């Protein structure tokens, strides 16, 4: 690994997006107000993520990794700063538009899989597409492709409870990629898996990246952080280090 820059404002003329930049964070801060106490979860994050890049975010517990991922996934809004996705600023969007962009541009992979227990594997994977109003035939084709891609097409009628943890996370990966999002956000995707299944999921993500997917992964496990091309290290809500594989 090779140390690169620390988190700081870009030099003038170097802070905008270029043709390859998918996400651009410009001075993003996040402050939580609770009982008259201000908690600065993120303090001035400047970060670009290029198309096709595999980025990992690491750091100790409470450093702001998950908050940053939530903001990237449009599940939360920054207190200050700018967030540009596909050259579109996102600050002024309505909740409905943010939901729509989340559905089309972002795929989530959670540590706890977050599959819905009452839905079959097929229905879980199909879920993001149903919210797009996509025709049934197209949905079927996409779901089939996604499940084949993660090697779970033989379990379409199973319920999550009938699968192992590794299999559930593969289904979750299929659900993340079925909508062909611009970026997949993975939050500790191996956190609930044993090392064998963890390895398998990481291999799957690497394969997806090799096929062109943009991935941003939060992990505190250095072994898995090394799967990424670039790793940003957070500490106390700031990017303190950036390394490249």
Partner 1 sequence: MSTLFQDVRYGLRMLAKNPSFTVVVVVTLALGIGVNTAMFSVVNGVLFDPLPFPEADHLVAVHGSKPNFLRGSISYPNFLDWQKDNHCFSAMALYRGTGMSLTGLGEPERLRAEYITSDFFTILGVKPVIGRNLAQGEDGIGAAPTVLISEGLWQRKFGASRDVLGKTLSLDGRGLSVIGVVPASFHLDSVIAGAMDRDVYVPIGQWGNNALTVRGAGLGLHAIARLKPGVTIDQARSDMSVVTQSLAQVYPDNDRGLGATIDPLKESVTGRVRSILLVMLGAVGFVLLIACVNVANLLLARSAGRSQEFAIRAAMGAGNWRVMRQVLVETALMAFLGGALGLVMAAWGTHSALAALHVDLPRAWAVGVDAKVLLFTLGISIFAAILFGLAPALKITRPDLVETLKEGGRGGSGTRHRIQSAFVVVEMAMAFVLLIGAGLMLRTMARILNVNPGFEPHNVTTFSYAFPPALAGSSAETVRAACRQLNQKLASLPGTEAVSLSWAAFPLGNEDDENFWMEGQPKPPSAYEMNWTLTYVVEPGYLKAMGISLKHGRFFTEQDNPHSPPVVVVDEMFARKFFPDQDPIGKRIHLNNTDQLAEIVGVVGHVSQWGLDSDEANPLRAQLYHAFGQLDDAPMKLSASGIGVVIRSSVAPAALIGSIRKATGELSSDRVVWGFESMDEIISDSLASRRFSLMLLGAFAATALLLATLGIYGVLSYLVGQRTHEIAVRMALGAQKRDVLRLIVGEGMVLALAGVGFGLVGGLALTRFVSTLLYNVQPTDPLTFITVSILLAVVAVAACFIPARRAAKVDPLAGLRYQ
Report the interface residues with partner 1, using CB under 8 A: 70, 73, 75-76, 95-96, 99-100, 102-104, 108, 110, 112, 114, 116-118, 127-128, 131-132, 175, 179
Rounded least distance, CB 103 to partner 1, Å? 2
Rounded least distance, CB 223 to partner 1, Å? 24
Q: Between 114 and 243, whose beta carbon lies closer to partner 1?
A: 114
Q: Between 183 and 227, whose beta carbon lies closer to partner 1?
A: 183
Q: Between 216 and 233, whose beta carbon lies closer to partner 1?
A: 216
Angstrom CA distances, 245 to 4, 54, 178, stand at: 11, 10, 28
Q: CA quadruple 220, 14, 78, 214: dihedral positive or negative?
A: negative
Q: Between 46 and 108, whose beta carbon lies closer to partner 1?
A: 108
- Paired tokens of 11: 């030099």
Rounded least distance, CB 173 to partner 1, Å? 13
Rounded least distance, CB 36 to partner 1, Å? 20
Rounded to 5 degrees, what angle do the CA atoms 23, 244, 237 make? Answer: 60
How far apart, in whole angstroms, are the C-alpha atoms of residue 139 and residue 145?
10
Q: Between 122 and 227, whose beta carbon lies closer to partner 1?
A: 122
Q: Between 76 and 236, whose beta carbon lies closer to partner 1?
A: 76
Distance of CA 47 to the CA centre of its chain: 14
Rounded least distance, CB 118 to partner 1, Å? 7
E-assigned strands of the chain?
Answer: 2-3, 21-34, 37-50, 54-58, 80-85, 88-89, 106-109, 183-187, 215-218, 230-235, 238-244
Rounded least distance, CB 49 to partner 1, Å? 19
CA dihedral 161, 164, 169, 175 (to 10 degrees): -50
| 240: nearest Cα among 21, 10, 4 | 4
């Amino acid at each position: 690994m090779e140390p690169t820059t620390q988190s700081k404002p870009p030099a003038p003329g170097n802070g905008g997006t270029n043709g390859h930049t998918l996400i651009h964070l410009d001075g993003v801060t996040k402050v939580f107000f609770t009982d008259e106490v201000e908690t600065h979860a993120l303090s001035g994050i400047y970060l670009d993520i290029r198309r096709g890049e595999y980025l990992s975010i690491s750091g100790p517990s409470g450093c702001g990794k998950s908050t940053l991922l939530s903001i990237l996934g449009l599940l939360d809004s920054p207190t200050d700063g700018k967030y540009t996705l596909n050259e579109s600023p996102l600050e002024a969007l309505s909740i409905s538009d943010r939901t729509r962009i989340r559905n089309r541009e972002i795929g989530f992979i959670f540590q706890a899989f977050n599959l819905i227990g009452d839905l079959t594997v097929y229905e879980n994977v199909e879920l993001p597409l149903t919210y797009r109003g996509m025709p049934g035939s197209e949905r079927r084709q996409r779901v089939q492709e996604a499940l084949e891609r993660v090697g779970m097409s033989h379990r379409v009628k199973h319920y999550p409870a009938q699968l192992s943890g590794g299999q559930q996370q593969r289904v979750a990966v299929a659900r993340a990629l079925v909508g062909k999002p611009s970026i997949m956000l993975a939050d500790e995707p191996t956190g609930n898996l044993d090392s064998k299944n963890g390895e398998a999921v990481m291999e799957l993500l690497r394969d997806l990246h090799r096929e062109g997917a943009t991935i941003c992964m939060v992990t505190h496990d250095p072994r898995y952080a090394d799967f990424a091309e670039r790793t940003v290290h957070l500490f106390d809500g700031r990017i303190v280090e950036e390394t490249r594989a």
